[in-house]
């Protein structure tokens, strides 16, 4: 309902703007303007046409837009959408004329039909065709921009997820606690301290090795989980009971790296771990998933968790697959199922040269898309303004087509200036030169 009234408001604004243009044409032709009943009637009829045709065409557009979305802009779907809009326009014009002639002017319907001519329809149909072309172009331009933003969000989300993963693994509290355990072990049990140091170094080596990978084999991740649990068991001794499969049933299966560490750390963080309340953690495989479960014995006093760990894993899986992390909680257990994937989706680690090459290619491709969008914009502008100019020549001597030509032309000009990186006021490459200048100043200050 809100969208209906929003579109109705736009229709009224368009109607007023169209009537204002016709008034300017009327005055430009040297005709007088009388503020009388006829002016009010003309304004009402103009608004009736504008509002009804706008709402009818917008209804058609929204139907095709929301039912097809991405495919809407293919020739096949445009070949259905544009004729549908013209048919709806013709039907709307017919009923508007029936209302005006049969209701307002009190002619009979037979008199209306006998006097009806095609010339009464071709002008609204042409205007509807032009307006639909403008509608589809601007919505397509908006769609492309939204796609670019979405793509950038995915890229940023990937980087953010990787950063969060690394940040969580190098959590200061975990490192601080590990060093405290190590300090006490050095005095009490030097041999155990040595084992602890070895395990700790393996944990951080794995973190650094896997931080840029999207997926790792299940065997690698389980081996890491075993090393990580060795650290936790040294800290909590027999208060933690840990079980995991001795062998992997699907060696080719892959999971998001460091996900098990987050889940194991969460289990310890959120539950009581003591000699009287042992924490039982089990890792097991089931069809399509790796299951991590622990008995539920939540701490009575603790700050509310931020949920960063689970969000982190969810985000990384969302970027790689449509399968989702499953979280289940019963009265006695907390269970998390992470999907096992069957293949590496992308190259694990990119060297600097590959990264720069891909980045340059992505930037070049984006620039080509912008240039292509500009040329499409320019072509539509030339076709539509050409059509309006021809219409202007056949209807009146007043050059009203100059108004949309100048207004829209200004938009085309600034679109081209943006695409070709030209600033009409500050010159070409001003932004790049200014950035280099500021960077040089900062370098000199350092």
**DSSP structure string for 201-256:** HHHHHHHHHHTT-S-EEHHHHHHHHHHHHHHHHHHHGGGEEEE--SS-S-TT-EE-
Rounded CA gap, 15 and 21, in Å? 10
Q: Are the C-beta atoms of residues 421 and 428 closer than 8 Å to each other?
A: yes
Q: Are the C-beta atoms of residues 233 and 268 closer than 8 Å to each other?
A: no
Residues 199-204: contacts with CB under 8 Å, at least 24 apart: 199/227, 199/228, 199/230, 199/231, 199/234, 200/231, 202/227, 203/227, 203/228, 203/231, 203/261, 204/170
Q: Are the C-beta atoms of residues 290 and 337 closer than 8 Å to each other?
A: yes
Predicted confidence at residue 115, as pLDDT, reads 81
Q: Which of 354, 394, 322 is nearest to 212 (CA)?
A: 354
Predicted confidence at residue 261, as pLDDT, reads 82
* Low-confidence residues in the chain, pLDDT < 70: 1, 28-29, 68-75, 127, 130-132, 134-136, 138-175, 177, 211-212, 301-309, 343-360, 396, 398, 422-436, 439, 442-446
Return the H-helix or E-strand segment holding 290: strand 289-295
Rounded CA gap, 99 and 80, in Å? 29
Residues in CB range of 302: below 8 A, 6 or more apart: 270
Predicted confidence at residue 335, as pLDDT, reads 94
Rounded CA gap, 192 and 231, in Å? 11
Predicted confidence at residue 302, as pLDDT, reads 58
Reduced 3-state DSSP string for 119-162 = HHHHHHHHHHHHHHHHHHHHHHHHHHHHHHHHHHHHHHHHHHHH
| pTM summary value | 0.42
């Amino acid at each position: 309902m809100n969208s209906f009234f929003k579109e109705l408001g736009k229709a009224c604004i368009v109607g007023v703007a169209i009537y204002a243009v016709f008034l300017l044409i009327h005055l430009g032709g040297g005709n007088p303007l009388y503020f009388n009943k006829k002016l009010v009637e003309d304004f009402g009829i103009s608004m009736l046409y504008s509002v009804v045709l706008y709402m009818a065409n917008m209804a058609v557009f929204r139907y095709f837009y929301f039912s097809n979305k991405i495919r809407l802009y293919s020739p096949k779907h445009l070949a259905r959408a544009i004729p549908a809009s013209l048919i709806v326009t013709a039907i709307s014009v017919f009923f508007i004329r029936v209302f005006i002639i049969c209701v307002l002017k009190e002619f009979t319907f037979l008199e209306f039909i006998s006097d009806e001519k095609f010339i009464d329809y071709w002008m609204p149909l042409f205007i509807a065709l032009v307006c639909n072309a403008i509608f589809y172009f601007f919505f397509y331009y908006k769609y492309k921009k939204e796609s670019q933003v979405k793509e950038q969000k995915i890229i940023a989300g990937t980087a953010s997820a990787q950063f969060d993963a690394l940040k969580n693994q190098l959590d200061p509290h975990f490192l601080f606690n590990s060093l405290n355990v190590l300090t006490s072990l050095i005095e009490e049990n030097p041999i155990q301290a040595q084992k602890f140091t070895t395990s700790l170094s393996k944990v951080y080596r794995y973190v650094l090795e896997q931080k840029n990978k999207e997926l790792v084999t299940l065997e690698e991740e389980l081996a890491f989980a075993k090393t990580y649990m060795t650290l936790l068991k040294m800290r909590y001794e027999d208060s933690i009971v840990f079980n995991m499969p001795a062998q992997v049933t699907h060696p080719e299966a892959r999971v998001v790296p460091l996900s098990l560490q987050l889940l194991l750390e969460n289990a310890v963080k959120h539950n009581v771990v003591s000699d009287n309340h042992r924490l039982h953690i089990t890792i097991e495989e089931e069809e399509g998933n790796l299951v991590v479960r622990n008995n539920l014995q939540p701490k009575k006093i603790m700050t509310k968790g931020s949920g960063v760990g689970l969000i982190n894993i969810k985000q990384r899986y969302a970027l790689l697959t449509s399968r989702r992390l499953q979280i289940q909680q019963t009265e006695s257990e907390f269970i998390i199922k992470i999907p096992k994937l069957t293949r590496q989706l992308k190259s694990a680690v990119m060297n600097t040269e590959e990264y720069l090459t891909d980045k340059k290619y992505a930037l070049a491709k984006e620039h080509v898309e912008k240039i292509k969008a500009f040329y499409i914009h320019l072509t539509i502008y030339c076709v539509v303004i050409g059509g309006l100019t021809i219409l202007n020549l056949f209807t009146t001597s007043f050059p009203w087509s100059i108004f949309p030509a100048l207004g829209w032309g200004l938009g085309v000009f600034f679109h081209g200036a943006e695409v070709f990186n030209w600033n009409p006021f500050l010159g070409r490459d001003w932004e790049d030169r200014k950035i280099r200048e500021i960077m040089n100043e900062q370098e000199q200050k350092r």
